[in-house]
């Protein structure tokens, strides 16, 4: 309460400039009091916006982590324990935003509905609707819900690239299950990445308080237009310390449309589709290429007859920027290309022989035959189809939505490197490792990223 009072006072100190702007532009920043006096207020704008922000409640089940003794069938028989794995019913609360009233589409975060078997949406007017999951993209933490109702109100959208650091914003959501709440602040930063929160990151940073339950809610500007989907906070205690992150609405909408059209987000792979291998620049390489700093990535290989070669890339080129955004590492390049829609033209700025050079290429996915793969019936690997690679190892061909592998975050084209810290050579080897296990620690590779997943 004290913090909200302080924020209201701070907003009041920003008049008359802000107040006059609100009156002239019709952004509803002022409310008229009985005495005819105008005071700064977000209330008129919020009255229009809040009907489009919903509360999301989920029910689900997760496998309970057990002591290794419980995985031993002899131990189970001796103590008369049940043969099936033990589950626990879960419930979670979050928020969502109606972005398309005609199609009944709601944007929220993937982590809000992960493991959900039932999703309920609570509207501002008290209506409760059951939602179906229309698509998810764990790499950007975006999920799309669909509800059947003809009386919905969608939030107007704003191009998130028009945001500037210092713009006022309000975060609307359902913190701690208290019901719809609003906090306000400013845009503290744009294009935040490298936070290791998601596979692909391009966050709006704000000091508007975002607390547990706000996830999936709306970040709006003072005109009441949606600029982002609240997603995460930086915190050592679990509470807000004024560093919150939202997914830009342009990115969220791009992900949503691909999920609705293809059932997945199509991303071009830097090596396989573009035809480039790159590496970070350290002090030695910076000196060799006569660079003033260690930022940027160097092209270590250009594949023959690839889009990169046809676009003019050469071995030794130093990539400085993509679409006018600086590139400081190979991970950042992977991040920026992964968030660029397939079919779009990508502008590169490279350094060659000490001189800057612009290059362009159209980001496409190379056509390749769809492998059949081998379905796996083992419970832990249910719904997973794998292909054995000629050089050894396994590649994910298909993942059934809702399966344990899907819930853990595994996706097609991922490569499986090891299981329970043992390198996997082929399918039979994997099945021997899985046999009798209640959980599985998998080391996966996705593009240039290597990460662990826990399957249970």
Q: Is 141 a catalytic residue?
A: yes
Burial of 296 (0-12, 13-18, 19+ CB in 10 A): buried
Q: Is 429 a catalytic residue?
A: no
For 270-377, where are the alpha helices, taking DSSP H only? 283-288, 307-310, 330-338
Query: What gap in Å lies between CA 362 and CA 10, rounded to an integer?
Result: 47
Region of residue 432 (left: phi > 0; alpha: psi -120 to 50; beta: else): alpha
Q: Which of 111, 269, 317, 385 is catalytic?
A: 111
Query: Is residue 188 within 8 Å of residue 195, measured between CB atoms?
Result: no
Q: Is 71 a catalytic residue?
A: no
- Which residues 6+ apart lie within 8 Å of 338 measured at CB? 139, 199, 200, 267, 447
- Which residues 6+ apart lie within 8 Å of 8 measured at CB? none
- Which residues 6+ apart lie within 8 Å of 235 measured at CB? 241, 243
CA nearest 340: which of 401, 392, 273?
A: 273
DSSP letters along 282-295, please?
-HHHHHHTT-SSS-
Which residues share a beta bridge with 88?
A: 62
- Which residues 6+ apart lie within 8 Å of 147 measured at CB? 104, 106, 121, 129, 130, 131, 132
DSSP letters along 209-244, please?
---TT-TT-EEEETTS-EEEEEEEE--SSSS--S-E
CA nearest 43: which of 31, 54, 57, 59?
A: 31
The gap from C-alpha 138 to its chain's centroid, in whole angstroms, comes to 6
Q: Which of 158, 181, 184, 215 is catalytic?
A: 215
Query: What gap in Å lies between CA 444 and CA 395, rounded to an integer?
Result: 9
Q: Which of 41, 92, 95, 141 is catalytic?
A: 141
Collapsing DSSP to helix, strand or coil, 55 comes out as: strand
Report the catalytic residues: 111, 141, 215
């Amino acid at each position: 309460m004290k913090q909200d009072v302080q924020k209201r006072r701070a907003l009041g100190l920003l008049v008359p400039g802000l107040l006059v702007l609100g009156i002239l532009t019709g952004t509803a920043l002022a409310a008229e009091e009985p005495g005819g006096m105008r005071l700064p207020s977000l209330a008129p704008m919020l009255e229009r916006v809040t009907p489009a922000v919903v509360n999301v409640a989920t029910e689900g089940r997760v496998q309970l982590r057990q002591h290794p003794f419980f995985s031993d069938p002899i131990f189970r028989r001796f103590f008369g324990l049940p043969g099936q794995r033990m589950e626990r019913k879960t419930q979670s609360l979050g928020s969502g935003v109606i972005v398309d009233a005609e199609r009944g589409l709601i944007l929220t975060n993937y982590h809000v509905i992960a493991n959900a078997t039932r999703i309920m949406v609570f509207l501002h007017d008290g209506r409760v609707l059951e939602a179906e999951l229309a698509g998810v993209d764990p790499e950007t933490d975006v999920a799309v819900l669909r509800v059947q109702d003809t009386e919905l109100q969608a939030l107007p959208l704003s191009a998130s690239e028009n945001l500037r650091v210092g713009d006022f914003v309000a975060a609307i959501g359902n913190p701690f299950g208290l019901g719809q709440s609003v906090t306000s602040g400013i845009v503290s930063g744009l294009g935040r990445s490298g936070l290791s929160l998601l596979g692909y990151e391009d966050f709006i940073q704000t000091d508007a308080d975002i607390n547990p339950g706000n996830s999936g809610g709306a970040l709006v500007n003072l005109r009441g237009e949606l600029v982002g989907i609240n997603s995460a906070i930086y915190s050592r205690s679990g509470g807000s310390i004024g560093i919150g992150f939202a997914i830009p609405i342009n990115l969220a909408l791009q992900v949503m449309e691909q999920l609705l059209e293809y059932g997945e987000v199509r991303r071009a792979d830097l090596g396989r589709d573009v035809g480039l291998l790159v590496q970070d620049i350290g002090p030695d390489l910076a000196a060799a290429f006569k660079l003033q700093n260690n930022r940027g990535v160097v092209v270590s290989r250009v594949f023959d007859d690839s889009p990169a070669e046809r676009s003019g890339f050469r071995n030794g080129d130093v990539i400085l920027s993509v679409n006018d955004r600086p590139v400081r590492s190979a991970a950042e390049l992977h991040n920026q290309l992964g968030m660029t829609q397939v079919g779009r033209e990508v502008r590169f700025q490279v350094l060659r022989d000490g001189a800057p050079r612009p290059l362009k290429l159209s980001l496409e996915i190379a056509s390749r035959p769809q492998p059949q793969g081998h379905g796996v019936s083992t419970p832990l690997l249910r719904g997973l189809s794998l292909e054995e690679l000629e050089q050894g190892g396994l590649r994910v061909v298909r993942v059934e939505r809702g399966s344990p592998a899907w819930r853990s975050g595994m996706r097609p084209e991922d490569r499986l490197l090891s299981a329970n810290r043992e390198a996997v050579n082929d399918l039979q080897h994997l099945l021997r490792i899985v046999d009798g296990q209640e959980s599985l620690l998998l080391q996966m590779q996705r593009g240039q990223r290597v990460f662990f997943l826990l399957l249970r």
